[in-house]
C-alpha cells in the first residue's frame, strides 16, 4: 500500500474517531453539554490526535529506517569483486534499485509474471533487453550477483511495505483504543489537547536550533575528515591555492582569505561613506518629503537579489573599469577584478550601513543636539562633534554587520572577482574569495572522499566562524550602545 | 539708536554684525560643504540604483522580442511519412536532419520567389540564416499535427539564427561579422533584404518565458519555462513548510515561552541564523539532504528545503513583531471571559496579527525567490530541458531556478546569452515587484495602529 493511501486511511480513521469521541462525550453528559468539563469539540480532538499522531510518527520512522535496513542487507549480497570500494558500492546499490524498479514496471506491464521472475537468471534471459522494453536503460549487462541482489531488494521492499501498513494501522487503532474509553463527562479534554498544541509549537521553535546544529555538525564533521587527509597547518598557513584532481594539491587558505578581505575592504570603502553620509543627511537635514521618497529608494537596493548585482558587475561595471581605468593605466586587462566586485558589493551594502546608522543616529537623545546648538554650534558641528561621537559604538556595530555581509556574499564575487587565487595588491587584477572556491569545489561532479572537495567544508567552517564572530561582536556593541541611552 | 550698531571702540569682536568675519564664513562654508556631502552621498546611491536598473533593462528588453523567418513550407509525404499511416510514433523515426532538408528547400524557394539573390553563398550559409533549432520546431509541429503532411503550410514561423537576431538588435554589425566565424556580412545583407521583402521580422517572443533551456549554440531558442516552474515548485515547498513552522515558532516564543536557558538559546539561534551567509545553507543542504538523506540532486524539493531553513528566521522575526504589536488588553479580555491561553491566542491574537505575519511571509518568500548561491551547491545549475512532472512527484524531478538560470547563462560562450540572462532578470524582478507590491498593499489595507 502506498504512503499516500496509508495516510488517507489514517486520516479517515482519525476523523471517525473525532465523531465517535464527540458523540460519546455528549451521550455521557446526557445531551446537556454544560455538564461536560470541556466542549464536545475537544473530546473529539483528543481522539483524533490520539489516532493520527502516533500512526504518522510510526510511518515517518518506518520510512526512514526501512531503506537503511534494506540497503545494509542488500549490500551484503554484492560480492567484493563487483564493488571493491565505497564508491563502487554506492553505484552498485543504485543499479540494484534501478533494476528492481524496472522489474516492478515489467510485472505491472505484464511482460513477466512474478513466478517467472523467481526462476529467472541472467544466464537464461537477457535482463538488460527486458528492462529496456519498460524504459529502464542500463549501461551494461547485468551482473548475476547484482541481479540476485535486485530480486532480494524487491522482496525485502515488498515485505517492508506490508509490515509498514500493519504497523501504522496498529498504531492508529491502539491510539484510538486508549483514548476513546477515557472519554467521559469529567475528562479534561481541553487541557489534554492544549498541551499537545503547546508541545507542537515548542517543537516548531526548535527547528532553528536543529538547523544550527545541522550546520555545525555537517561542517565540523567533514572538516575533520578533511584534516585527516590534509594537514591543518598547511591549510591555514599555506600561501598557494592549487587544487589538482590527480592529487598533490596545495590548498592554502591565505590567498582566498586575502581576496575576501580585499574585496570586502573596497566594498566598505564605498559603502561606509555613502551610507553614513546619506543616513546623516536623511536624519538631520532632509525634509519629511525627501525622506519619504529617498529612504524607500535606498531600501530597494537591499531588496534586489545578489544575482542582479552579479550580472551588473559582469556586463557593465567590469568592462567600464577595464576600458577606462585598468587598461589606460596599464594595471591589467581583466574585466573581473577585485575593484569590480568591491564596488558592486559596496553598492549592495549601502542600505545595510545607512538604515542601521539611521536608527542609531535617531537614538541619540535630542537634548544633546539642543545643548550643542544652544551653545552656538552650527548643525554640522553638532553632528560631527556631538552626535557622531555619541553614536560611534553603534556605527561601528553597523559597519561590522556590513562587513560580515560582504564577507559572506557569493554571487557578486563569483561573477565579478574572477577565479585566480593570488596574493597581490593590484586592485584591478582578478582575485578570488572563500565563497567563490566553495562554489567551484562543490559544483559539478564531486567525489566526497578527496581533499579537493572536502576543503570546501573547511572553507565553509572558516566562513561561518568569521561571520558569526563579527555578528556576535556587532550585536553586542549595538546592544551595549542602546542601553546607554535608555 | 543707530550708534549702537556701529563698531564698539574696544572688545574682542571687531567689525560689523552684518558683515561676516573670517571664522563665521569658514564655519558657514563648512556647514554648506557638509550638507553637500550628504546630498552627494544620496545622489551616488540613487545613481547606482538607476545605473543598475538601466543597464539590466536595456540589455534585457530585447530578449522579449525575437527575429522570426516566415516562409511557406511544402511538407512532402514521401520524405516525412514513408509509411503513409500518419502515425506520429512511426513518423518520429524521421530525425531533424530530414526536416532540415525540407526547410532548406523551402527557404531557397522563398528567396527565389522574392527575387533575393544568394549568389556566392554556400548552401550551408543560406541554412545558417536560420536557427539550428528550426528543424526541431518544424518536427515538433508536424508530430503534433500529423495531418499536415503532404500539404503545404502557407506561413510557418522559424527562429532566425542568434547572430541574425543580434544584427537586428544592434549586437552584431557588419564589421563584427567579418571577424565572426559563425556569420558573414553577405548573410546579413540577405537577412536585411529578407526583412525588406517581409520574410523576416521581430515579434514578441512567448517562447522566452515558456520554452525550456537550449544548448550552448542556440541562445535564440533558450527560454525560462523549466526555471520558472522549478522556482514555483520551490516557493510552494517554502510556503507549505515555513508558514506553519514559522508562525508556530513565533507564537511559542512570543506567547508561551517562559524565560529560561532553552528559550534564550532559541532566540540567539534565530538571530544568528538570519545573518549566516546563504552559501553555508547550501553546504548544509548538500551534506544533510543529498549526502545523508539521499534525496536527488537538482530537485526542487531539496532547493525548497534549503530555502525554507534559510527563510525561517526571516519569517519568525517579523511574525514576532506582529504578535508583539497586538496590545495585551486583547489577551486580558479573552482570558477574562474564560478563554484558555491557547484559545485567547488562536481566536484573538493570531487573527489580529495575521496581516503583519503575512506581509513578513511574502517578503521572506521574495528573498528566497532571488537566492542563488545555496542552489548552486545542490546541483540546480545542471542543464535541464525536460519540464518537471506534476505535483507532488515533480518535486523530485530535476529542475532549475530563475536566478540559477541567469547564472548558468552568464557562463556560456555565445554573447546572445547575455541578453537572455538580463531578460531573465527582468522576469525575476517583475515577480519580486509583484510580491512586494502585494505585501505593501496588505500592510496599508489591514495594518492597525493600536
Provide the pLDDT for residue A112.
74
Q: Which residues contact A35 (CB under 8 A, 6 or more apart)?
A: A29, A185
State the smallest CA–CA distance between residue B371 and chain A in angstroms: 7
The length of chain B is 450
Residue A471: give the domain boundaries.
Answer: 241-484
- Does the pLDDT at position B88 exceed 80? no
Residue A215 pLDDT class (50, 70, 90 cuts): very high
Q: Is residue A195 part of a domain?
A: yes
DSSP B57-111: HHHHGGGGEEEEEEEEEE--HHHH-TT-S--HHHHTTS-HHHHHHHHHHHHHHHH
- Closest by Cα among B160, B137, B152, B157 to B73: B152
Look at residues A304, A256, A269, A274 and name the one whose alpha carbon lies nearest to residue A412.
A304
Residue A232 included in any domain: no
> Do A312 and A374 sit in the same domain of this protein?
yes
Which runs of consecutive H residues, i.e. helices, occur in B345-395? Answer: 350-370, 373-377
Which of A208, A304, A306 lies at the smallest CB-CB distance from B249?
A208
At residue A264 the predicted structure's pLDDT band, cuts being 50, 70 and 90, is very high
Mark whether A136 and A260 lie in a shared domain. no
Of A123-132, A174-183, B28-37, minimum mean pLDDT range: A123-132
User: With bands split at pLDDT 50, 70 and 90, how would you rate the model's confidence at B148?
Assistant: confident
Q: Does B440 touch chain A (CB under 8 A)?
A: no
Residue A108 lies in a domain: yes
Rounded to the nearest angstrom, the minimum Cα separation between B107 and chain A is 36
Interface test with B, best of A307, A336, A379 (most B CBs within 10 A): A307
The rounded distance, in Å, linking the Cα atoms of B152 and B166 is: 30
Q: Looking at residue B134, what is its pLDDT?
A: 86
Residues A161, A254, single domain; the answer is no
- Pair A267, A405 in one domain: yes
More confident position, A378 or B199: A378
Given a cut of 80, whether residue A304 has pLDDT beyond it is: yes
Residue B171 has pLDDT above 90, yes or no: no
Helices (H) and strands (E) in chain B, counts: 21, 3
Helix, strand or coil, per DSSP, at residue A250: strand
CATH code, domain with A359 = 1.10.3720.10
Q: B450 pLDDT band (50/70/90 cuts)?
A: low
The pLDDT of residue B221: 87
pTM: 0.87
Which B-chain residues 285-304 have CB contacts (< 8 A) with chain A?
286-288, 291, 294
**Domain match, A342 and A408 both:** yes
Give the least confident one: A106-115, A308-317, B338-347. Answer: A106-115
Q: Which residue has the cell 574585496?
A: A263
Quickly state the pLDDT bin for B11 (edges 50, 70, 90): low
The whole-angstrom distance between A224's CA and the closest CA on chain B is 14
Same domain, A259 and A169: no
Report yes or no: A407 at the B interface, CB cutoff 8 Å.
Answer: yes
User: Which of the residues A63, A206, A207 would you substitute to probe the B interface, choosing the one with the greatest number of B C-beta atoms within 10 Å?
Assistant: A207
Which chain B residue is nearest to residue A461, measuring alpha carbons? B280
Buried b (16+ CB within 10 A) or exposed e, B274-283: bbbbbbbbbb
Please check whether residue A116 lies inside any domain of the structure: yes
Mean pLDDT of chain B, nearest integer: 86
Q: Which of A185, A205, A225 is the last residue of a domain?
A: A205
Question: Closest partner residue to A460 among B48, B248, B280, by Cβ?
Answer: B280
Domain closes at, from A156, A179, A205? A205
CA atoms within 13 A on the CB side of A31: 0
- In a domain, residue A212? The reply is no
- pLDDT, one tens digit per residue, over A218-262 is 999 889 989 998 888 888 988 888 887 777 788 889 999 999 999
Cβ of B28 under 8 Å from any chain A Cβ? yes
List the single range of A307-311, B296-300, B342-346, B370-374 with lowest mean pLDDT. Answer: B296-300
Contact A431, A263 (CB under 8 A): yes
Cβ–Cβ of A439/B280 closer than 8 Å?
no
| Residue A31 sits in the same domain as residue A117 | yes
A246 and A194 co-located in one domain: no
What's the confidence (pLDDT) of residue A262?
94
Give residue A135's pLDDT.
67
User: Residue A77 domain-assigned?
Assistant: yes
Q: What does the mean pLDDT of chain A come to?
A: 86
- Give domain status of residue A122, yes or no: yes
Q: What is the ipTM of this complex?
A: 0.89
More confident residue, B148 or A128: B148
Cα–Cα distance for residue pair B294/B274, rounded to 1 Å: 27
Model confidence band, residue B12 (pLDDT cutoffs 50, 70, 90): low
pLDDT tens digit sequence for A92-120? 777 777 787 777 777 777 777 777 777 77
Touching B: A residues 88-117, CB under 8 Å: none
Residue A403: band (very low, low, confident or very high) from pLDDT cuts 50, 70, 90: very high
Query: Which domains, from first to last, does chain B contain?
Result: 63-205 (no CATH), 225-446 (1.10.3720.10)
Q: Across residues A438-458, what is the average pLDDT? A: 81
HSE at residue A20, side-chain half, CA atoms within 13 A, is 17
What's the CA gap between B120 and B134, in Å, rounded? 23
pLDDT at A139: 65
- Whose cell is 523567418? That residue is B69
What's the structural domain count of chain A? 2
Greater confidence (A477 vs B29) lies with B29
Dist. CA A220–CA A435, nearest whole Å: 17
Q: A128 and A263: one domain? A: no
Nearest CA in chain A to B314: A208
Helical ranges in A121-206 per DSSP H? 127-133, 144-179, 189-205
Are A369 and A446 part of one and the same domain?
yes
Does residue A231 sit within a domain?
no
* A-B Cβ pairs (cutoff 8 Å, strict): 247
Average pLDDT over residues B153-174: 85
Say how far residue A459 (Cα) sits from the centre of its chain.
16
The mean pLDDT of B137-160, rounded to a whole number, is: 84
Split at pLDDT 50, 70, 90, the class of B1 is: very low
Which residues in chain B have Cβ-Cβ distances shorter than 8 Å to A205?
Answer: 248-249, 252-253, 257, 266
Angle made by CA atoms B111, B113, B117, in degrees to the nearest 5 = 45
Confidence of residue B297 (pLDDT cuts 50, 70, 90): confident
The predicted structure's pLDDT at residue A243: 82
Q: What is the pLDDT of residues B320-330, one digit of tens each?
A: 999 999 999 99
Q: Kindly indicate the confidence band of residue A341, based on its pLDDT and cuts at 50, 70 and 90.
A: very high
Residue found by looking up cell 546563504 in the block: B278
Pure H helices in A328-450: 338-362, 366-374, 379-382, 388-408, 411-416, 434-442
Question: Is there a single domain that holds both residue A175 and residue A302?
Answer: no
Minimal CA separation from A203 to chain B, in Å: 8
A322-334 tens-digit pLDDT: 999 888 888 888 8
* A46 & A94 share domain: yes
**Given this model, what pLDDT does residue A277 score?**
95
| pLDDT value at residue A1 | 65
Residues of chain B contacting residue A60, judged by C-beta atoms under 8 Å apart: none
Amino acid at each position: 500500500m502506498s504512503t499516500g493511501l496509508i495516510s488517507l486511511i489514517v486520516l479517515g480513521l482519525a476523523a471517525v474517531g473525532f465523531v465517535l469521541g464527540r458523540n460519546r462525550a455528549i451521550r455521557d453528559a446526557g445531551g446537556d453539554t454544560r455538564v461536560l468539563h470541556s466542549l464536545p469539540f475537544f473530546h473529539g480532538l483528543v481522539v483524533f490526535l490520539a489516532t493520527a499522531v502516533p500512526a504518522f510518527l510510526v510511518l515517518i520512522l518506518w520510512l526512514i529506517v526501512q531503506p537503511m535496513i534494506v540497503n545494509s542487507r542488500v549490500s551484503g549480497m554484492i560480492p567484493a569483486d563487483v564493488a571493491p570500494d565505497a564508491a563502487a558500492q554506492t553505484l552498485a546499490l543504485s543499479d540494484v534499485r534501478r533494476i528492481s524498479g524496472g522489474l516492478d514496471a515489467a510485472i505491472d506491464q505484464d511482460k513477466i509474471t512474478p513466478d517467472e521472475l523467481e526462476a529467472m537468471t541472467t544466464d537464461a534471459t537477457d535482463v538488460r533487453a527486458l528492462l529496456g522494453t519498460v524504459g529502464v536503460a542500463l549501461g551494461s549487462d547485468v551482473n548475476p550477483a547484482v541481479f540476485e541482489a535486485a530480486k532480494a531488494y524487491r522482496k525485502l521492499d515488498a515485505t517492508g511495505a506490508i509490515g509498514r501498513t500493519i504497523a501504522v494501522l496498529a498504531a492508529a487503532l491502539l491510539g484510538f483504543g486508549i483514548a476513546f474509553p477515557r472519554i467521559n463527562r469529567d475528562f479534561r479534554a481541553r487541557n489534554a489537547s492544549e498541551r499537545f498544541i503547546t508541545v507542537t509549537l515548542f517543537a516548531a521553535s526548535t527547528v532553528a536550533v536543529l538547523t544550527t546544529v545541522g550546520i555545525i555538525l555537517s561542517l565540523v564533521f567533514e572538516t575533520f575528515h578533511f584534516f585527516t587527509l590534509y594537514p591543518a597547518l598547511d591549510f591555514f598557513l599555506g600561501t598557494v591555492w592549487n587544487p589538482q584532481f590527480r592529487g598533490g594539491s596545495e590548498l592554502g587558505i591565505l590567498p582566498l582569505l586575502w581576496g575576501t578581505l580585499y574585496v570586502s575592504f573596497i566594498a566598505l570603502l564605498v559603502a561606509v561613506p555613502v551610507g553614513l553620509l546619506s543616513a546623516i543627511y536623511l536624519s538631520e537635514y532632509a525634509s519629511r518629503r525627501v525622506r519619504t521618497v529617498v529612504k524607500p529608494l535606498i531600501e530597494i537596493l537591499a531588496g534586489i537579489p545578489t544575482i542582479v548585482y552579479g550580472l551588473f558587475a559582469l556586463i557593465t561595471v567590469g568592462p567600464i573599469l577595464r576600458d577606462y581605468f585598468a587598461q589606460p593605466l596599464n594595471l591589467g586587462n581583466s574585466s573581473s577584478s577585485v575593484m569590480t566586485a568591491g564596488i558592486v558589493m559596496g553598492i549592495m551594502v549601502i542600505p545595510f550601513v545607512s538604515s542601521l546608522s539611521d536608527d542609531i543616529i535617531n537614538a541619540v537623545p535630542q537634548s544633546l543636539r539642543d545643548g550643542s546648538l544652544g551653545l552656538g554650534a552650527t548643525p554640522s558641528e553638532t553632528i560631527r562633534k556631538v552626535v557622531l561621537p555619541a553614536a560611534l559604538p553603534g556605527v561601528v556595530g553597523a559597519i561590522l554587520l556590513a562587513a560580515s555581509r560582504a564577507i559572506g556574499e557569493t554571487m557578486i564575487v563569483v561573477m565579478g572577482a574572477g577565479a585566480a587565487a593570488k596574493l597581490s595588491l593590484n586592485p584591478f587584477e582578478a582575485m578570488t574569495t572563500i565563497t567563490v572556491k566553495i562554489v567551484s569545489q562543490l559544483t559539478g561532479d564531486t567525489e566526497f572522499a578527496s581533499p579537493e572537495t572536502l576543503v570546501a567544508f573547511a572553507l565553509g567552517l572558516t566562513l561561518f566562524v568569521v561571520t558569526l564572530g563579527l555578528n556576535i561582536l556587532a550585536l553586542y556593541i549595538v546592544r551595549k550602545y542602546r542601553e546607554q541611552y535608555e | 539708536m543707530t550708534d549702537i550698531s556701529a563698531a564698539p571702540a574696544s572688545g574682542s569682536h571687531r567689525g560689523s554684525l552684518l558683515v561676516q568675519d573670517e571664522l563665521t564664513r569658514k564655519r558657514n562654508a563648512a556647514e554648506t560643504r557638509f550638507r553637500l556631502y550628504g546630498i552627494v552621498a544620496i545622489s551616488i546611491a540613487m545613481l547606482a540604483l538607476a545605473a543598475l536598473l538601466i543597464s539590466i533593462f536595456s540589455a534585457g528588453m530585447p530578449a522579449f522580442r525575437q527575429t522570426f523567418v516566415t516562409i511557406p513550407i511544402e511538407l512532402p509525404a514521401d520524405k516525412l511519412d514513408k509509411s503513409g499511416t500518419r502515425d506520429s510514433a512511426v513518423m518520429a523515426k524521421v530525425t531533424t536532419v530530414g526536416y532540415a532538408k525540407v526547410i532548406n528547400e523551402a527557404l531557397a524557394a522563398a528567396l527565389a520567389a522574392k527575387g533575393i539573390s544568394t549568389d556566392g553563398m554556400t548552401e550551408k550559409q543560406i541554412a545558417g540564416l536560420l536557427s539550428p533549432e528550426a528543424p526541431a520546431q518544424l518536427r515538433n509541429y508536424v508530430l503534433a499535427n500529423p495531418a499536415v503532411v503532404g500539404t503545404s503550410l502557407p506561413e510557418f514561423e522559424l527562429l532566425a539564427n542568434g547572430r541574425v537576431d543580434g544584427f537586428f538588435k544592434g549586437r552584431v554589425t557588419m564589421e563584427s561579422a567579418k571577424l565572426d566565424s559563425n556569420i558573414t556580412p553577405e548573410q546579413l545583407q540577405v537577412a536585411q533584404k529578407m526583412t525588406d521583402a517581409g520574410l523576416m521580422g521581430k515579434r514578441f517572443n512567448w517562447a522566452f518565458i515558456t520554452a525550456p533551456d537550449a544548448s550552448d549554440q542556440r541562445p535564440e531558442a533558450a527560454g525560462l519555462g523549466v526555471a520558472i516552474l522549478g522556482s514555483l515548485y520551490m516557493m510552494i515547498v517554502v510556503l507549505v513548510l515555513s508558514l506553519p513552522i514559522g508562525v508556530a515558532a513565533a507564537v511559542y516564543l512570543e506567547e508561551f515561552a517562559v524565560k529560561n536557558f532553552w528559550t534564550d538559546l532559541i532566540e540567539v539561534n534565530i538571530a544568528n541564523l538570519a545573518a549566516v551567509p546563504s552559501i553555508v545553507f547550501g553546504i548544509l543542504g548538500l551534506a544533510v539532504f543529498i549526502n545523508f538523506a539521499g534525496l536527488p540532486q537538482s530537485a526542487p524539493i531539496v532547493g525548497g528545503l534549503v530555502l525554507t531553513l534559510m527563510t525561517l528566521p526571516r519569517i519568525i522575526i517579523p511574525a514576532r513583531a506582529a504578535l508583539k504589536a497586538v496590545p495585551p488588553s486583547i489577551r486580558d479580555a479573552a482570558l477574562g471571559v474564560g478563554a484558555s491561553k491557547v484559545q485567547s491566542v488562536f481566536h484573538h491574537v493570531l487573527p489580529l496579527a495575521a496581516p503583519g505575519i503575512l506581509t513578513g511571509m511574502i517578503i521572506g518568500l521574495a528573498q528566497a525567490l532571488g537566492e542563488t548561491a545555496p542552489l548552486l551547491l545542490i546541483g540546480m545549475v545542471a542543464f535541464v530541458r525536460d519540464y518537471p512532472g506534476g505535483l507532488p512527484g515533480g518535486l523530485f524531478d530535476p529542475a532549475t531556478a530563475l536566478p540559477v538560470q541567469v547564472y548558468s547563462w552568464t557562463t556560456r560562450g555565445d554573447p546572445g546569452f547575455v541578453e537572455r540572462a538580463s531578460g531573465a532578470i527582468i522576469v525575476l524582478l517583475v515577480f519580486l515587484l509583484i510580491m512586494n507590491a502585494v505585501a505593501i498593499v496588505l500592510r496599508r489595507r489591514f495594518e492597525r495602529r493600536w
